[in-house]
Structure 1
Amino acid sequence: MQATRLPGKPMVDIAGAPMIVQVWRRAIAAKAGRVVVATDAREVKAAIEAAGGEAVMTRADHASGSDRIFEAISIVDPDARADIVVNLQGDLPTLEPHLVAACIAPLADPATDIATLAAEITEVEERTNPNVVKVVGSPLASPGRLRALYFTRATAPWGDGPLYHHIGLYAYRRAALTRFVSLPPSPLEKREKLEQLRALEAGMRIDVAIVNTVPLGVDTPADLERARRLLRVR
């Protein structure tokens, strides 16, 4: 709610519903399991409950989304029945529901701690845009999979070959999430302002599924208008 470029962002109207409700609908459509909205804003909780969803209040002082979902899962699932926790950001109203399953899939390998998504960069300007986070990884035997070596706002890696746009959707093993939030922010995390680097610096394994679409993240008024146009078409 405190977003400086788009104040009150979760509650802005898109196609007749608050953005957070649009994201919740796509999470439900993914049919991946129980969906809970974690928030520190009572108006967000009220909007989700009015739509028929489940929401939980969390502290307002969390440093990252991972810290917030850890508090939320501890409240709603204190017996740790859920083995996998998916962190879906509340500003992705055009998310295609199948991407949630795609994000979870790399966790079929028991050696993987965290899974996430990326798409090959096709727009030239994205290659040098620091707001487009790039993932650098080694290809795995499974087609369309990488083992993440680094995440950066810089243009990387150097040389010929594809660059990959990281998509901020994460699937954690419950134990990995518990460990992650116990770690202090790492040097590279603070430098790049990318929390996933904390996991890599601690030796945790992040695998990446390559998909062919990037959901629109709504951060600015221009993004909001684009999202409104896209959802009107749907």
Structure 2
Amino acid sequence: MQVCGVIPARLQSTRLPGKLLLNETGKTLIQHTWEAAASSEKLDRLIVATDSLEIMECVHGFGGKACLTGEHPNGTDRIAEVAMHELFDAEILVNIQGDEPEISPVFIDKLIEVLIQSPTADMATLATPIRELDQLQDSSCTKVVCRTDGSAMYFSRLPIPFTRDQNPEIFLPEQSPWLLHLGIYAYRRAFLLNLTQIPPTPLEQLEKLEQLRALESGATIQVAQVSHPSVGIDTPEDYAQFVSRYQQNQ
């Protein structure tokens, strides 16, 4: 079974312009992400899908593989284009966020394995227990609730499940019933190509969560739990903290 990782990479970023090309560590952010993902034992191929010639040249410069795509509203559509025109033999495609330079290759391997071992699942994703009240109440942190078989029931920006009669703090940090959704996905090829042909669905538009389109369309999303979240770089402060962690480990 051919498994391909795709890193969607846009040059523009509202809160941190050109972030994937920042290089205060001596490497660009996109190179850090590439090297972390390339350590996966279950990816047969890895490619950056970008709308930027500058990013493509950067990736080629450090020895990675990249291709130019058209303009797309999201990474899923970008990956679907690459699947159709570049990755003809890919049976599973993994969406790896370009701004997560510390993504664990072990997490990538676990995601792939859970999809392989779940033959009825159309796609898979990761989640981790929420340990802090601020994160639980933060609408920018997406939560997921699952069935007993580990498949997703719903994703929301609100704290779900809701504790009607108890203070949520009594469950934190050790007995948390809440799961933080991590933005990494593995898709079966045919499902991915079909999903991108479906117009945005009502719940997706309300919550602004693309994965709800799959659930509303009847798909099965298998969720695997991991021990901790990966850290995305969205702001100058995020990047400064990453640079500090990197330098401390050198």
What's the TM-score bracket when you normalise by the shorter of the two chains?
over 0.9
Matched AA of 2:183: G
Matched AA of 1:90: G
Matched, 1:153 2:157: yes
Matched AA of 1:121: I
For residue 122 of structure 1, the aligned residue among 114, 117, 131 is 131
Equivalences for residues 57-72 of structure 1 within 5 A: 57-60=68-71, 62-72=72-82
**Equivalent-residue separation in structure 2 for 1:233 and 1:101 (angstroms):** 27
**Equivalent-residue separation in structure 2 for 1:195 and 1:226 (angstroms):** 29
Equivalences for residues 47-86 of structure 1 within 5 A: 47-60=58-71, 62-77=72-87, 80-86=88-94
How far off is 1:14 after superposition?
A: 4.7
Identify the residue that residue 45 of structure 2 maps to in structure 1: 34
Q: How many pairs are equivalent?
A: 226
How far off is 1:231 after superposition?
A: 1.9
State the SS of the aligned residue for 2:234: coil
Contact kept, 8 Å, 1:103 with 1:115, in 2: the verdict is yes
State the SS of the aligned residue for 1:175: helix
Equivalences for residues 85-234 of structure 1 within 5 A: 85-107=93-115, 108-140=117-149, 146-159=150-163, 161-234=176-249
CA RMSD of aligned residues (A): 1.2
**Equivalent-residue separation in structure 1 for 2:15 and 2:54 (angstroms):** 19
Q: Which runs of 5+ in 2 are unaligned?
A: 1-10, 164-170
Q: Deviations over 1:86-106 (max 9, x none)?
A: 000101011111110111122
Higher mean C-alpha displacement, 160-169 vs 203-212: 160-169
Identify the residue that residue 6 of structure 1 maps to in structure 2: 16
Q: Which runs of 5+ in 1 are unaligned?
A: 141-145
Q: Deviations over 1:149-187 (max 9, x none)?
A: 111111111126511110000000001101111111111
**Equivalent-residue separation in structure 1 for 2:24 and 2:246 (angstroms):** 7
**Equivalent-residue separation in structure 2 for 1:83 and 1:45 (angstroms):** 24
State the SS of the aligned residue for 2:146: strand
Runs of 4+ residues over 4 Å off in structure 1 = none
Q: Deviations over 1:54-99 (max 9, x none)?
A: 0000012x1111000011122212xx31110000010101111111
Identify the residue that residue 143 of structure 1 maps to in structure 2: none
How far off is 1:233 after superposition?
A: 2.8
Q: Deviations over 1:14-54 (max 9, x none)?
A: 52111011101111111322000000011110111001010
Identify the residue that residue 34 of structure 2 maps to in structure 1: 24
TM-score scaled to structure 1, two decimals? 0.93
**Equivalent-residue separation in structure 1 for 2:220 and 2:55 (angstroms):** 33
State the SS of the aligned residue for 1:115: strand
Contact kept, 8 Å, 1:85 with 1:171, in 2: the verdict is yes
Contact kept, 8 Å, 2:37 with 2:104, in 1: the verdict is no
State the SS of the aligned residue for 2:222: strand
